[in-house]
Structure 1
Amino acid sequence: MLQAPGGRDGLAESWRRRFEILDRIDGAYFTRWRELSEAERMRAGLAWPAFFFSFLYYFAKGMWEKGLLFMTVYAALGMALGAVGVPGVLVWFWVGALCVACAASDYYKRVEHGERIWPWLARRMPGFLRSTPGLGVVAVVALGCHVAIAVQT
């Protein structure tokens, strides 16, 4: 369930604890990350289900735009690296690792600040890609191309 910015009422207890840790270190920017113990870093910084489900985890958490971007990255890398013989499972592993590293802070920024897409990327994107439908079209086309190529090989 997606919350309005600043709303933690519907969050699971594990996410509330994680958000409390992120609040202590200025979770939007991680300015005081080194103040945490190793256990707190692991608890606050990594969302392990994101490793196994990658962009699907983002969809489940209501982070559609970022999930669509990860889906596009997965499809593009799958096509490019598949063309040179890299197995698709390695691409899925890499995208999963990227998602597990980003998911907790991305969810925090979504719930606390209403962030839909990374600001550094939004400034560089064409206008039609700043909307969920625009990103969806690009992601579906990329994934369709990836599947079509995979089926032919």
Structure 2
Amino acid sequence: MTNVPDSTEVPAAWQQRFAFFQQYGPVGSTPEAKAAYRALPFGARMRLGFNIWAFLFGPVYFLVKGMWRKGLTVLGVAVTLGVASVLLGVPDNWDRAFAIGFTAAIATVTNWAYYLHVAEGSQSWNPLEGLRRKGPA
């Protein structure tokens, strides 16, 4: 059971995200969630599905928001992938493209992870927690 915080606990922007997540779950998890997401205006879709601060600051953003376990996981994966790219001699342009893709992926899961952290008290190390698509019932 979710415990959605009241208006004094999170800013209005997060309240809108939390209301969507409480009603539909993560973006794209069900046909209803997809339809509701597509019905939103472009700006609302961007705020719901992408976190620019997580894109810019990565694991540090997770730590600042209190999700230190997930932040350490993201940092560990980033360092591991960086070391692997150096050892494998990946060309710089491929390395940059992959790094941007990785940070964009993290930015798309951050809002849902923060919802789980605040509303459900998640203490998981998995930043992808609860994102599995739900099949037909």
Give the TM-score of the pair, scaled to structure 2: 0.71
CA apart distance, 1:25: 0.9
1:7 corresponds in structure 2 to: 5
Equivalent position to 1:68, from 72, 86, 108: 72
2:24 corresponds in structure 1 to: 25
Contact 1:54 1:95 in 2 (8 A): no
1:110 corresponds in structure 2 to: 117
1:81 corresponds in structure 2 to: 85
Aligned pairs, number: 117
1:93 has 2:93 as partner:
no
Give the RMSD, CA atoms, in angstroms: 2.7
1:138 corresponds in structure 2 to: none
Which structure shows the bigger proportion of residues in helix conformation? 1
Quick one: distance in 1 between partners of 2:96 and 2:23? 37
1:16 has 2:15 as partner:
yes
Q: Which runs of 5+ in 1 are unaligned?
A: 122-153
Contact 1:44 1:104 in 2 (8 A): yes
- The residue type paired with residue 116 of structure 1 is Q
Quick one: distance in 1 between partners of 2:118 and 2:45? 20
Give the TM-score of the pair, scaled to structure 1: 0.64
Quick one: distance in 2 between partners of 1:47 and 1:113? 20
